Amino acid sequence: MLKRSLTTLLISAFACAILNAQELSPIHQRQPTLTPQNSGTTSGLIAVWPVNPQVVWASGRDGTFTVTTDGGRTWRAGVVPGAELLQFRDVQAFSASVAYLLSIGGDPTDFRIYKTEDGGATWTIQFENQNPNAFYDGFAFWTPHRGIAHSDSVNGVFPDLRTTDGMTWQDISNNMPPALPGEFSFASSGTCVTTQGGRNAWIATGGATIARILATRDGGNTWNAYNTPLFSSPSGGAFTVDFRDPFDGIVGGGDLDPSNPNNADTATSTDGGQTWTLTNPPPVTGAIFGLSYVGQTGGGAGNNLGRAVVVTANDGGAAWTPDEGNTWFTLPGVSGYWAVAFASPKAGAPLFLASTASTSKTNPGMKPVCLALRHQVPPRAVPSKVHRSGPAVTSKVPFGKTPRCVLSQMWKAAQACSASICSSLS
């Protein structure tokens, strides 16, 4: 199936929710409750990025973005002029004023990178693709001025980009490892690319016979490719990756083929992504679209705070693990969540999560997490291209960055929320 055609399956408006889970003991787990919130838009939101517990950005269909500066009590949504027909598959912000958006669409020039420095009042196009076969899936930043953007392979090459000044983007395709036949990434949650520290980055791929991780230790000057044990095919592979420090990371994926729903797996690495070991399978089906470690904050660009608990989210359910995949706990009633992200590493900060209905918030003292809900939304079909962006995302996620979220070991409570209601782990 085509990469963009697969994204046209589930089209619905998503709402956002903020959760805050109460700190739990290993044996006493409570589910947080969520309070519905109005994200300010009826367009499906795809990506979420919390800068801190108060400032959160989200982006999605119809050229839409939305931002809160009061922890989700109110949201201000807008549409980027000239992008009304585009989908913003990724968002990353550094304050209430500064944010980046990455768009996709049906034409080559629809793949763009936008930036605002005035809270969304005006947007500047920093990059507009001219490669007829490129498909930019996501981006990630080390600082407000340094970041990378990743595309599916074109003729055996990844036409990836890098900025070192927060204004211009340079082609670094010559720095990238050769692509395998048919290799691409999934734009299902904006988390196929992740950064950590000041120079480390990892990219998850699929579509080929092997699902791989592309890794750099020097800010994108040089890259290496490493095999993972995750399932891979023209409709599957590694969707999302995250690292809690330079060495310890987790990757998740699966298969978009509805006839093959039992390949949702995660694998962990303890050597910076060079080798990977399958964890026990999470209790979800389909493919894992987004995951994150606790402590991954917008401002910190992937800083590690030692949290090992991970929350995974996808269209086949959601789950969390306190030990990087050795044991898993289902998040009851949660379906259609594609992205997750923590708003803050501090106890008591709100946990954000997006759902097909409205936004919710609980404030019992758990670490903030953000889940960006993603449903398959239509980025137009393009013959001969596998659904490389993962089920298109359409979700009404209110905050933060594209999905990548984990629950903190400190609060050890995983959150879950269905359309307009949320339960809590306690």
CATH code of the domain in which 222 resides: 2.130.10.10
CA–CA separation, 411 vs 345, rounded Å? 10
User: 287 and 256 in contact (C-beta within 8 Å)?
Assistant: yes
Backbone φ, ψ for residue 10 (5° rounding)? -100, 115
User: 173 and 157 in contact (C-beta within 8 Å)?
Assistant: yes
User: 405 and 373 in contact (C-beta within 8 Å)?
Assistant: no
Backbone φ, ψ for residue 420 (5° rounding)? -115, 10
Q: What is the pLDDT along the chain (426 residues), one digit of tens a residue?
A: 334 322 222 222 223 433 443 333 343 345 544 455 688 888 877 888 989 888 989 888 899 999 999 988 899 999 999 999 999 999 999 999 999 999 999 999 999 999 999 999 999 999 999 999 999 999 999 999 999 999 999 999 999 999 999 999 999 999 999 999 999 999 988 899 999 999 999 999 999 999 999 999 999 999 999 999 999 999 999 999 999 889 999 999 999 999 989 999 999 999 999 999 999 999 999 899 888 876 543 344 444 344 444 666 666 888 888 788 988 888 777 777 777 777 665 544 455 554 433 333 333 222 223 333 333 332 222 223 333 333 333 332 222 222 222 222 222 222 222 222 222 222
Buried b (16+ CB within 10 A) or exposed e, 206-227: bbbebbbbbbbbebbeebebbe
User: 364 and 160 in contact (C-beta within 8 Å)?
Assistant: no
Residue 219's pLDDT is: 98
**Domain count within the chain:** 1
CA–CA separation, 338 vs 315, rounded Å? 6
Location of structure tokens 């978009």: 256
Q: In what order do the strands lie in the sheet with 212-216?
A: 193-196, 200-204, 212-216, 224-227
Burial zone of 237 (CB within 10 Å; 0-12 exposed, 13-18 middle, 19+ buried): buried
Residue 118's pLDDT is: 98
Strand partners, 45: 60
- Which pair of tokens denotes residue 169? 């983007």
Residue 340's pLDDT is: 76
Q: In what order do the strands lie in the sheet with 265-269?
A: 236-243, 249-255, 265-269, 277-278
Residue 317's pLDDT is: 82
Location of structure tokens 């939101």: 45
CA nearest to 425, candidates 9, 29, 13, 23: 29
Supply the pTM of this predicted model: 0.78
CA–CA separation, 124 vs 146, rounded Å? 17
Residue 327's pLDDT is: 87
Domain of residue 95 covers 3-425
Residue 173's pLDDT is: 98
**3-state SS assignment for residue 207:** coil
Residue 341's pLDDT is: 76
- What are the C-alpha distances in Å from 108 to residues 104, 170, 391? 8, 17, 19
